[in-house]
Structure 1
Amino acid sequence: MEKRSTLDEPQMTKEQQEVLEKYDAESRFRTFSNKTVAIIVSLIAIGLSLYHMYTSYFGTPATLQHRSLHVAAILALIFLLYPPFKKASRTKLPWYDVIFALMAVSTSVYIFVDYLGIVNRGGLPNHFDLFFGAMLVLLVLEASRRVTGWGLPTMAVIFFLYGLYGRELSGIFRHRGYTWDELVNFMYVTTEGVYGTAIGVSATYIFLFILFGAFLSKSGMGQFFNDMALAIAGQTRGGPAKVSVIASGFLGSINGAAVANVVTTGSFTIPLMKKIGYSRNFAGAVEAAASVGGQILPPIMGAAAFIMAETLGIPYSQIALAALLPALLFYLGIIVQIHLRATKEGLKGISRENLPKVMEVLKERGHLLIPLVFLMYMLFFSGRTIIFSALLTIIITVVVAMLRKTTRMSMRDIIDALVQGARTSVGVAIACACVGIVVGVATMTGFGLKLANGIVTLGGESLFLTLVFTMIACIVLGMGLPSIPTYIITATMAAPALITLGIEPLVAHLFVFYFGLFANITPPVALAAFAAAGISGGDQMKTGFLSMKLAIAGFIVPYMFVYNNSLLLIDTTFMEGVLVVITAVTGVIMLGTAAEGYLLASMNWVLRLLLFGGSLLFMNPSLTQDIAGFVIIVVVVLIQWNKGKKMRAIQSSSIEM
């Protein structure tokens, strides 16, 4: 393949690694100096990956046993891999973490040994149930603190205390109160607490798709996405920013980790954006917004779609299809602003001679698309289970990678992928376990329904106000949390408010999912934007607010599909679908233009507000509103054309003089 000396993907620098570790606690794992310890930990990780591959084909043990084994192995890996504090040694394994790991394993061993007794007691725990249950809760809280930070375990502790002392409250959030024994028993020996739906999905779909992502990474898929994005968009106006959007969108859909995606692709794209003239704040904002958006982009959606399917009891394919158009509109809004900013500032793309050619990229690594195409076929058309589809796709990935020497995986690569898959999964898995405490208490106390009633009461009879209050609640609940637990929490506590008003459950869940994710780019706790600012050298808060501006379509589109379900392609005819696509695309282009304040010339605030108002007219399906919106577009374009014509005349006069 043609060499690109000036554009080869750089290795992550020490400074960039520090940025990743600062904003992504999952990256602060140990690298052991003792080879024996390193081998033992790797064998545990490999065993966990192979166990999930085996059970995806041959079936799992009883639900409680399978989930407990998954959680125990994840906890053991966390205590072996993650130090308790930032300043603790990252090369040595202290004795107490070995004890913690053994304690974690014992919680599952007990369930396997006394499974029939646990089932027969039916909610009447003995002393051993309570002992191991309390141990599990404490280990989950500590492991979650090490991997995800203080936010999620603090929320879990608050909810646990609410379960204990809620009887002391007054008002709508008061409940009858539960004892320590009742709470611990519910968390440990039922499939609604720690071992609830979230961990159930983690132990099946999520783990396998993270493992699939690890194998794709070893095959060189990340380099393929970067090269293809460069080949397609690199030479266009503002090309590196468009490359960032394309590459980050695809990678974000697969890995589902916004901060890690920012640092991985941003270490390559942000310097290129700055080099052609984008400001450091804007360059960071582009990467942050694009990375967060990957988690709403089918086919994988960062694995959240699988939890949504399990929660709603509908096929995964229906969710992926419904999420497709809104996700594309989100990225269209970013592309529009990137292009207009480049036009306004006279920025160019990358010279063609420094770019790969599309056909060369496809010839070298194009075969890596086969596993993705195969996965979509399996998920949408084969009729096979999701976990079997994931397993078969992993095998296909290894086989397809063998077709060319540059992508061929050695046995070491395969082993590394098994280790990497297990290690990467710990963040999502422990978050799912910890959020099980939150959801468990919310289920026992009816907190979710009470919060939903509170939101509906605040909104009165206004759907719009209820949507606004729900949006705010979701952003607050999602601050500082990974995407998976964010969705689970918002689906439990905020979505019921919308469903109460008659909104379709799928629509309500997608609405809360969007705004829970956007906490990553919404100051004051915008971790993805802060990580991007760390790479670009920009200001954190300015990068955060610019990220919000670039993602403005993502803040408006959820309102659009609440008012117009056809945007999700639900129960629509072909012609209705075409019409909704046209109006939605037009509205998003208007929105991006208003946000950037430029079309054919700079806009004043009056025109920007007019254009913004016109874009909102496309939210509700109405012929009258659509016509009004198109009239506004025509007026703005004519004004801009006239202004641009005058500016060109002035420039021509000055050149002649």
Structure 2
Amino acid sequence: MIQKVISVTAVAFSAYMIYATLFGPYRTTLVHLAIFLAASFTIYFLEREGRLIKDPLYLRAINWLCVIGTLAATAHIVINLDRILASWGASFLTTGDLVFGGVLVLVVLEAARRESIAFFLLSVIGILYILFGNLLPGVLGHSGMDLRRFIYLTAYTGEGIFGFGLNVAASYLFMFMLLSSAMARTKTGEFIMDMCNAYFGHRVGGPAKSAVVASAGLGTMVGSSIGNVATTGTFTIPLMQKNGLPGYKAGAVETVASEGSQFLPPIMGAGAFIMAEMTGIPYASIALAALLPALLYFVSIFAVVHFEAVKLGLKGLDRSEIPSARQVLHDGWHLLIPPAILFYLLMWEGLTPGYAGMIAVLVSIVVAMLRASSRMSFGQILSVFDRGARSAASVAALIAAVGFIQQAMVTTGLAPRLTEIMLLGTGGEMIWTLVLAVIAATILGMGMPTPIAYVLLALFVAPALETVGVSTLAAHLFLFYFAIKSGSTPPVAMVAIVAASIAKADWWKTGLWSFYYSLPGFIIAFMFVYSPALLFQGTAVEISMAMTMATIGTVGIAGAMLGWCGWPLSILERLALAAGSIFLIHSGLITDAVGLALVLGSVSLARFRASRSVASGISG
């Protein structure tokens, strides 16, 4: 019975969101977000009630109390909106306003606690800092805030729960959750996997290369590293293991490929939508700027996979195991229409991501009817909206609590003071500020979804990067990049844990190898900070040169790391190759010349040694 209630709520929720996307928010943005939060939390807590029906009575009662509290608080906002908006501040709130606002704060905290203990604790610290920061000495202290004003700002304005995080979830993210659900139902992932195997399966390390390309193609639309691993990993990881790659390495390949897909246009995951909201930079400009770094990232993974496959002597799949590319394309070409239309609408028509996503969802349902293999019944179409809304509800459960962190940073004036502290610790040097940002990303991203990790970094770290001379676009892309990579960085490495469970491998080894395989990709973020041409900022010649040098450097790092570049590398050759590749990070005539000399010298020496070894073996 509960599941039916959830399904009806989810489908109705989806219908309302399509209406709001077409005709605008109902009444005002605040009312729209209140409805969004009410539907999301109703689905979120009822779904747990349905799954955990054998739990003790008091735990089940908490689920129902959270649902009732959410509905009562959001209804209070909708009913009393005109009076609340007409009030001049916290002093005009009634006792009822304070009670319902307080209930909403508690429910949001409970949802955050269930999704992430770390983020829940951070939210609580943020609230305590807002209320009692006046008791702190020195630079961290502020004038303080009473409870009445805190509830007013948090529950009834755009500076708290109904801030930019929830706004992005409602405006952009929801439609892409529906799109992901539609693609899963039409088996778009299987089609992409078959196409990749058809083209790459017979090559050296073919299954691993197929996994990289498939994860890139599907993951940019899924927008979630964990979701991508769960979707493509069930196909790719067993195939890599069958080809001879150890389970922990197969899981690591899928992990790093799935992570990179969040940085690949046109969708780039929810973090890119939040970035557009926070920076004011158009989404299309962000996606275009991320294109070359994203391609470099996948070049690095492809190089790692190739060198590893050659070292391990892995062959491609037998021709009998590889599907016919012509047949696969004949059967599933229509599934490429929705992502193609989405890309066109985002990049050329300049539509908002939410509107473009909605059109892509509707187109995906229509084109699925063209072929029997993807055709859906009416019930299956409803299930697309059902599953999509449930996924969006889980995101809303965490992202609503972003408002507490935002408020703690903005209303107390903490943000500029943190920038001063960071710059004091790094001496204002760009390179050390970037390194500190990477450390912060690793710590803040532990166990948190990418959008939340990015938001925290944008609030805490971005101002410091901009102060030392990093452009706003480069600073936020840098932080977004490492927020993504935190998913494979031990000791938490949530994305690697999911991959390890599919591979039935040790999750710690999977996480360590994921980190190891990511090292060439780590360099790329520093590359686009020091070479703005990689973000399409410069002339065509500058962009071409920067991309060429960056590609050589990326492949060089992969070769130095694995000790192979077509020929085995000695320790000194690996060091020289790594040094030369790092020189290519900073675009410039001198650094490029030195880098190329070291790269070419080390590779030539390795080739010479290998040829001499072969010659001596023949003569012997």
Tell me the TM-score normalised to structure 2 length: 0.96
The corresponding residue for 2:16 is 51
- Output one character per residue of 1:53-86: Cα deviation in whole Å (capped at 9) or x when no partner: 1110011120111111111111111110125998
The corresponding residue for 1:329 is 296
In the alignment, the residues of structure 2 paired with residue 604 and residue 313 of structure 1 have an alpha-carbon distance, to the nearest angstrom, of 49
The corresponding residue for 2:141 is 174
- Output one character per residue of 1:175-232: Cα deviation in whole Å (capped at 9) or x when no partner: 1222222222211001111100110011111101111121122122111111111112
The corresponding residue for 1:301 is 268
In the alignment, the residues of structure 2 paired with residue 85 and residue 438 of structure 1 have an alpha-carbon distance, to the nearest angstrom, of 31
Residues 1:114 and 2:80 aligned together: yes
The corresponding residue for 2:578 is 612
Q: How big is the shift at 1:648? A: 2.8
* CA distance 1:579–1:113, change in 2 (3 Å): same
| 1:442 partner SS | helix
Q: How big is the shift at 1:548? A: 1.4
Q: Which sits farther off after the overlay, 264-273 or 560-569?
A: 264-273
- One-letter code of the match for 1:464? I
Residues 1:71 and 2:37 aligned together: yes
Residues 209 and 390, structure 1, Cα contact 8 Å, conserved in 2: yes
In the alignment, the residues of structure 1 paired with residue 135 and residue 392 of structure 2 have an alpha-carbon distance, to the nearest angstrom, of 39
In the alignment, the residues of structure 2 paired with residue 38 and residue 203 of structure 1 have an alpha-carbon distance, to the nearest angstrom, of 23
* CA distance 1:269–1:496, change in 2 (3 Å): same
Residues 1:578 and 2:544 aligned together: yes
In the alignment, the residues of structure 1 paired with residue 501 and residue 179 of structure 2 have an alpha-carbon distance, to the nearest angstrom, of 29
- Output one character per residue of 1:553-583: Cα deviation in whole Å (capped at 9) or x when no partner: 331111111111111112x222222111111
Structure 1, unpaired ranges of 5+: 1-35
Residues 1:137 and 2:73 aligned together: no
In the alignment, the residues of structure 1 paired with residue 450 and residue 52 of structure 2 have an alpha-carbon distance, to the nearest angstrom, of 23
| 2:140 partner SS | coil
The corresponding residue for 1:537 is 504
In the alignment, the residues of structure 2 paired with residue 430 and residue 324 of structure 1 have an alpha-carbon distance, to the nearest angstrom, of 31
Q: Which sits farther off after the overlay, 388-397 or 409-418?
A: 388-397
- Output one character per residue of 1:586-642: Cα deviation in whole Å (capped at 9) or x when no partner: 111111111111123322332222111111111112111111111112211221112
Q: How big is the shift at 1:335? A: 0.8
* CA distance 1:88–1:257, change in 2 (3 Å): farther
Q: Which sits farther off after the overlay, 302-311 or 339-348?
A: 302-311
* CA distance 1:537–1:387, change in 2 (3 Å): closer
The corresponding residue for 1:128 is 96
In the alignment, the residues of structure 2 paired with residue 262 and residue 382 of structure 1 have an alpha-carbon distance, to the nearest angstrom, of 31
- One-letter code of the match for 1:461? G
Paired residue for 2:48, among 76, 79, 82? 82
In the alignment, the residues of structure 2 paired with residue 121 and residue 85 of structure 1 have an alpha-carbon distance, to the nearest angstrom, of 42
Residues 233 and 242, structure 1, Cα contact 8 Å, conserved in 2: yes
The corresponding residue for 1:25 is none
Q: How big is the shift at 1:501? A: 1.7
Paired residue for 1:396, among 326, 338, 363? 363
- Aligned-CA RMSD value: 2.0
Residues 474 and 512, structure 1, Cα contact 8 Å, conserved in 2: yes
In the alignment, the residues of structure 2 paired with residue 387 and residue 295 of structure 1 have an alpha-carbon distance, to the nearest angstrom, of 17
In the alignment, the residues of structure 2 paired with residue 111 and residue 446 of structure 1 have an alpha-carbon distance, to the nearest angstrom, of 28
In the alignment, the residues of structure 2 paired with residue 386 and residue 639 of structure 1 have an alpha-carbon distance, to the nearest angstrom, of 51
Residues 1:363 and 2:327 aligned together: no
Mapping for residues 435-446 of structure 1, pairs under 5 Å: 435-446=402-413
- One-letter code of the match for 1:109? A
The corresponding residue for 1:479 is 446
Q: Which sits farther off after the overlay, 82-91 or 386-395?
A: 82-91
Q: How big is the shift at 1:447? A: 2.1
- One-letter code of the match for 1:47? A
Mapping for residues 192-207 of structure 1, pairs under 5 Å: 192-207=159-174
In the alignment, the residues of structure 2 paired with residue 445 and residue 627 of structure 1 have an alpha-carbon distance, to the nearest angstrom, of 49
Q: How big is the shift at 1:430? A: 1.8
Residue correspondences, number: 617
In the alignment, the residues of structure 2 paired with residue 306 and residue 282 of structure 1 have an alpha-carbon distance, to the nearest angstrom, of 32
Paired residue for 2:222, among 245, 255, 265? 255
| 2:340 partner SS | helix
Mapping for residues 500-519 of structure 1, pairs under 5 Å: 500-519=467-486
- One-letter code of the match for 1:624? I
In the alignment, the residues of structure 1 paired with residue 520 and residue 103 of structure 2 have an alpha-carbon distance, to the nearest angstrom, of 45
Residues 80 and 93, structure 1, Cα contact 8 Å, conserved in 2: no
Mapping for residues 216-231 of structure 1, pairs under 5 Å: 216-231=183-198
Residues 251 and 261, structure 1, Cα contact 8 Å, conserved in 2: yes
Structure 2, unpaired ranges of 5+: none
The corresponding residue for 2:199 is 232
Q: Which sits farther off after the overlay, 267-276 or 95-104?
A: 95-104
In the alignment, the residues of structure 2 paired with residue 650 and residue 44 of structure 1 have an alpha-carbon distance, to the nearest angstrom, of 75
Residues 292 and 520, structure 1, Cα contact 8 Å, conserved in 2: yes
In the alignment, the residues of structure 1 paired with residue 290 and residue 76 of structure 2 have an alpha-carbon distance, to the nearest angstrom, of 42
Residues 163 and 178, structure 1, Cα contact 8 Å, conserved in 2: yes
Residues 297 and 327, structure 1, Cα contact 8 Å, conserved in 2: yes
Paired residue for 2:63, among 91, 94, 97? 97
Paired residue for 2:513, among 546, 570, 587? 546
Mapping for residues 339-418 of structure 1, pairs under 5 Å: 339-418=306-385
Where does structure 1 differ by over 6 angstroms across 4 or more consecutive aligned residues?
A: 84-87, 90-93
Mapping for residues 243-322 of structure 1, pairs under 5 Å: 243-322=210-289
* CA distance 1:74–1:230, change in 2 (3 Å): same
The corresponding residue for 2:180 is 213
Residues 285 and 546, structure 1, Cα contact 8 Å, conserved in 2: yes
In the alignment, the residues of structure 2 paired with residue 270 and residue 48 of structure 1 have an alpha-carbon distance, to the nearest angstrom, of 35
Identity of aligned residues (%): 37
* CA distance 1:92–1:333, change in 2 (3 Å): farther
Q: Which sits farther off after the overlay, 102-111 or 262-271?
A: 262-271
| 2:139 partner SS | coil
The corresponding residue for 1:629 is 595
- One-letter code of the match for 1:217? A
In the alignment, the residues of structure 2 paired with residue 413 and residue 91 of structure 1 have an alpha-carbon distance, to the nearest angstrom, of 34
Residues 112 and 401, structure 2, Cα contact 8 Å, conserved in 1: yes
In the alignment, the residues of structure 1 paired with residue 575 and residue 424 of structure 2 have an alpha-carbon distance, to the nearest angstrom, of 31
In the alignment, the residues of structure 1 paired with residue 585 and residue 74 of structure 2 have an alpha-carbon distance, to the nearest angstrom, of 51
| 2:203 partner SS | coil
- One-letter code of the match for 1:262? V
Q: How big is the shift at 1:650? A: 5.5
| 1:332 partner SS | helix
- Output one character per residue of 1:37-65: Cα deviation in whole Å (capped at 9) or x when no partner: 22111000111111101110011120111
| 1:445 partner SS | coil
Residues 10 and 385, structure 2, Cα contact 8 Å, conserved in 1: yes
Tell me the TM-score normalised to structure 1 length: 0.91
Mapping for residues 154-173 of structure 1, pairs under 5 Å: 154-173=121-140
The corresponding residue for 1:603 is 569
* CA distance 1:87–1:240, change in 2 (3 Å): farther
Residues 206 and 315, structure 2, Cα contact 8 Å, conserved in 1: yes
In the alignment, the residues of structure 2 paired with residue 369 and residue 224 of structure 1 have an alpha-carbon distance, to the nearest angstrom, of 9
- Output one character per residue of 1:396-435: Cα deviation in whole Å (capped at 9) or x when no partner: 1111111111011221111000001101112222221011
Residues 297 and 328, structure 1, Cα contact 8 Å, conserved in 2: yes
